[in-house]
Chains A and B, each alone.
Chain A
Amino acid sequence: MAKFTEKFEDGLMVVAEKVDDNKYLGAIKNAFTTFMPFIIVGSFASLFNTLICSTSTGLAAFIPSLAKISPAFTAINFATLSIMALPICFLIGLEMARRNKVPEQICAITALAAYICVVPQSVSIVVEGLESAVSGAGLPSAAIGAQGLFIAMIISIVVSEIFSALMKVEKIKIKMPPSVPSAISQSFNTLIPILISLVIVGVAGQLFFLATGSYMNDWIYTVLQAPLEAIFQSPLGAIALFMVAQVFWFLGIHGNMIITPIRNPLIASAIAANIATAAAGGIPDQPITYGSLVSFIVVGGAGLVLSLVIAILIFSKRDDERAVAKLGLVPAIFGISEPVVFGLPLVLNVTYVIPFILSAGVATGSLLFATSIGFVPCNVVDVPFGFPIVVSAFIGHGWQGVVLQLIIIALGVLLYTPFVLLSNKQFKKEQEKANA
């Protein structure tokens, strides 16, 4: 048994190191981390629209002229969320260049240009009164918005690799006499790699279109992104993913950090979809967003640590546990679990392993249940990490969110209580043994 756990531990450690060390996953992770503030700001713009410019729910009910500035907030929303494939494409190119040690901005712009090459460069609009659709120059929203995220990630990585490989070929560098300043010769040196990269991707995109009759971005969306989104938002997929994160936490590794490369693109597209649906007058239907992650799934710290702290403070008679719980209470209210995870410790603690891993499933399941029965709305306002409980849920999900958050914390207390009692029993036995 001990051998098996050791092997299991080593195996997961290797996975964690591989994910962390992987160039592509690292580039994606950092690109989304950089872009995250813009997603939150974009979602706040829609909050301002409701609070200020709406004539039914906002200040505009009293000062009607405020409704006129609504296009400004809609524009902020568009400029951050509805075009997110473009900055993500750029940022991944930048991160890739850093890792490959090639000129950063040039690689990033090449990636962005290559992406624009493979998506349609015209939009068609159906105009009332005309029989056929009218088309004009422009980038379709499916290509620049969240629907384009995966293809943008793929193109950006592929192009950065092509560009970086070409930059290392000495033969295609344009030789300048030594008297030419190095900055100038460097800009000439990048010419041919940019040209070849764009030609390869552009031609490949066109060939793909000729062969399949659809654009690459539409195809990747249909065969890859849409199914992944569906799995991620489904009970089974979401519960499994967040429980896997807990298994890593059990080993003392930041589990949610390991799953970010897959999680972040999906939560970004979810909040964008919710805002787009709400703007079109529909009811948002993507429950798992960054806001719901911090408000519900990892409320009180990953593994519902706040619930454990409460359970210990109520039921435990062990002084060591109570001391850690007291120290960890305030951080846990703000969603920071480390003092308890490493202080109790929960790491490799067999007594608490079951509730520690199950808690993520309970929290995710409760969230999905509450949204599916329509009690809690799917959010259009994302909440950054670090807000205390109640406040975080209220910003993103309103009062229903606060109720759900408190219910999840209470369920967590119920889940942990038997194990707190068990640990007390074990402790008592050990002491009796020691005294005997």
Chain B
Amino acid sequence: MKIVLTCCIGMSTSMLAELMSQASNAYGFNDDITCIDSEKLEVIDLDADVLLLGPQIKHMHRRLYRRYHTKMPVAMIDAQDYGCMNGENVLLFAHDLFKKHQCNR
């Protein structure tokens, strides 16, 4: 599945994305995990299965939620997991969100 992480310019999320990819390969999920500059989300029409926001842009959550929530789950990454760069936790969180989203449909 396609997981997209976003933050200010996508720099600190790129570290997390790398760790999530490793975790994903270890689980055998082989997800496609990428990062994007939060500004670009306003302009492009993102196509992904889950959109996760870095905690430092929580003020953008409402706006991005409005824009994308019908297509994919949009959620904040837990601040503690983000700070400790816990790729595995965030990966499982993303899968959980995706499953819930599928059920609600």
Contacts and interface: CB of A to CB of B under 8 A. Distances in A.
Contacts of A327: 84-85
Interface in B42-76: 42-43, 54-60, 62-63
Nearest to B79: A342
B56 A343 contact: no
Interface string A243-282: 0000001001110011000000000000000000000000
B104 interface: no
A13 B79 contact: no
B11 A252 contact: no
A344 interface: yes
B83 A345 contact: yes
B1 interface: no
A342 B85 CA distance: 10
B32 interface: no
B41 to A, nearest CB: 11
A339 B59 contact: no
A214 B57 CA distance: 43
B24 interface: no
Given A20-B63, A33-B39, A327-B85, A257 B79 contact: no
Interface in A200-252: 249, 252
Given A30-B39, A98-B43, A339-B12, A16 B59 contact: yes
B83 to A, nearest CB: 3
Nearest to A340: B83
A102 B85 CA distance: 42
Nearest to B43: A98
B42 A30 contact: yes
Contacts of A17: 59, 62-63
Contact of B57 (A249, A253, A344): A253
A343 B79 CA distance: 7
Interface residues of B, number: 25
Contacts of A331: 12, 15
Interface string A322-344: 00100100010000101111111
B11 A336 contact: yes
- Could you tell me the dominant secondary structure of chain A's interface residues? helix
A336 B7 CA distance: 12
B5 to A, nearest CB: 12
Contact of B55 (A20, A29, A252): A252
Contacts, number: 82
Contacts of B7: 254, 338
Nearest to A323: B84
Contacts of A338: 7, 12, 54, 56, 82-83
Contacts of B56: 249, 252-254, 257, 338, 341-342
Which among B37, B39, B83 has the highest number of chain A CB atoms within 10 Å? Answer: B83
Contacts of B92: none
Interface string B1-43: 0000001110110010000000000000000000001010011
Contact of A257 (B8, B62, B80, B85): B8
Nearest to A344: B83
B39 to A, nearest CB: 5
Contacts of A340: 83
A386 B11 CA distance: 8
Interface string A13-44: 10011011100001001100100000000000
Contacts of A33: 37, 39
Nearest to B84: A343
Contacts of A394: none
Contacts of A26: 42
18 contacts: A13-B59, A16-B59, A17-B59, A19-B59, A20-B59, A21-B62, A26-B42, A30-B42, A98-B42, A98-B43, A254-B8, A257-B56, A331-B15, A339-B12, A342-B79, A342-B80, A344-B83, A347-B55
Interface of B: 7-9, 11-12, 15, 37, 39, 42-43, 54-60, 62-63, 79-80, 82-85
9 smallest beta-carbon distances between A and B, as pairs: A343-B83, A342-B83, A16-B59, A338-B12, A254-B56, A342-B79, A342-B82, A17-B59, A336-B12
Given A20-B59, A327-B84, 12 more contacts: A17-B59, A17-B63, A29-B39, A30-B43, A98-B43, A253-B57, A254-B7, A257-B56, A338-B83, A339-B82, A341-B83, A345-B79
